[in-house]
Amino acid sequence: MNWLKQLALIMTFLIFAGCANNLQMGYYSVLDKEYRFNINAPVLIMHDVNDLLSAYYTDLVIYELTKRGFTSIYKQTELPIHRARNVIFLRLYKDVKSYPSVSYNYSIVNDGVVSSCYFYGEKFFCDNAPQKSFNLTDFTQRMDYSLTYHFTLDWYDTHTKRRVLYVDGRAYGKTCGYSYIFRDLVYQTINRIDFTREEQYTFNSPMPHYWTCD
């Protein structure tokens, strides 16, 4: 009977693996190419005080930036802004847009013309059969919605008072109610930051095998 249990486990794994889904994600950045980032300089992470979503992920952002080599990162309550070399404005949000969707139905109908006459050579002919035409007969209209998740980092140098880097990570498409979409968005975006060039591209990020779409 053990082999039956092993077979059942294998089949279950294959079913879940076959249903695995990917998050559609995008990465976009603009950069001051002349700027040189100092990983040892004090960096201050800031967000709107009423933005509870961004506040919740601040610790994760700090952790991921530390993994990229930055050694002195502080929350906005931990360091006065005049003591920071870089200030990063953090924001996570959902962007919902509506757009109309129209479907048209066509069918072949009798156009009411019962006689069509014409010359063929020297003879005159008439066709009394009803004429058919392909016409629009009905349409339906509905309002659809698109949902995009964004994670942005707006990076400033306090000494030069210039913006030196802007990063926008996003997830869109069929997210299947995935609970960790912002976590994955923070991880994927920070780990893809290139501090030497601007980039823009799309990619897929795998969701867990047990998280399936209907």
The pTM is what? 0.70
Q: Which amino acid, 134? A: F
- E-strand stretches of 111-190: 116-120, 123-127, 132-157, 162-172
Q: Over the stretch 41-71, which tens digit does the pLDDT of each residue have?
A: 999 999 999 999 999 999 999 999 999 999 9
CA-closest candidate to residue 201, choices 178, 168, 174: 168
Where do the structural domains in the chain lie, given as residue ranges?
A: 23-100+146-206, 101-141
The region of weakest confidence among 46-50, 155-159, 178-182 is 178-182
* Topology at the third CATH level for domain 23-100+146-206: Double Stranded RNA Binding Domain (3.30.160)
